[in-house]
A and B are shown apart, each in its own frame.
Chain A
């Protein structure tokens, strides 16, 4: 079974530039998550989708971050404009269903460096 795919794997941009990340979840997984992992910290949820609807985006900095999951499959996460403190690894995860009983499978992550 193919795992969660993410691209790009690495991205370096200057502050105030824009950047977008892409995630392709495991086939058939209804729930998709984006996490931000700052160096030395655990992953922090940014947004959770159930199919193409948003379940939880309470920790998403909506003034600069946006995410969408068109057709309930792939998802993109965008940052516009980027700040230095956005430097982090952005992890995408998917699960068959929402809730704690459904195991989350993680992608390899995208490492973003903002200069």
Chain B
């Protein structure tokens, strides 16, 4: 079955600390993996996708097919990073399957 697991509901860190939001997936095939973010009172929006291999707002994510993971990382958290983060996958031509999300709270 296709599934995305985000084991942490809430991750609280201090400003300047490293951040790692965990995402594991289950999919028989080669999925596309994404991270979506929802800031307070804003719409859900795409943060990054694994196929682009880019860094957005200092965040990176590497697809590890052996561990079926796609963890989101940032070396130094900022207060403006506080938001809800969703990991999602898409199979061949299929719509997005989302995890339950992780709330990131960055305090000073």
Contacts and interface: CB of A to CB of B under 8 A. Distances in A.
Contacts of A98: 93
B57 interface: no
B100 A106 contact: no
The secondary structure that dominates the A interface is loop
A42 B4 contact: yes
Contact of A3 (B4, B43, B90, B96): B43
B46 to A, nearest CB: 5
Given A40-B100, A42-B4, A33 B43 contact: no
A106 B43 contact: yes
Contact of B86 (A42, A101, A103): A42
Contacts of A44: 98
Interface residues of B, number: 20
Contact of B98 (A40, A43, A100, A107): A43
A14 interface: no
A64 to B, nearest CB: 21
Contacts of A99: 90, 93
A87 interface: no
B32 interface: yes
Contact of A91 (B44, B88, B99, B100): B44
A50 to B, nearest CB: 11
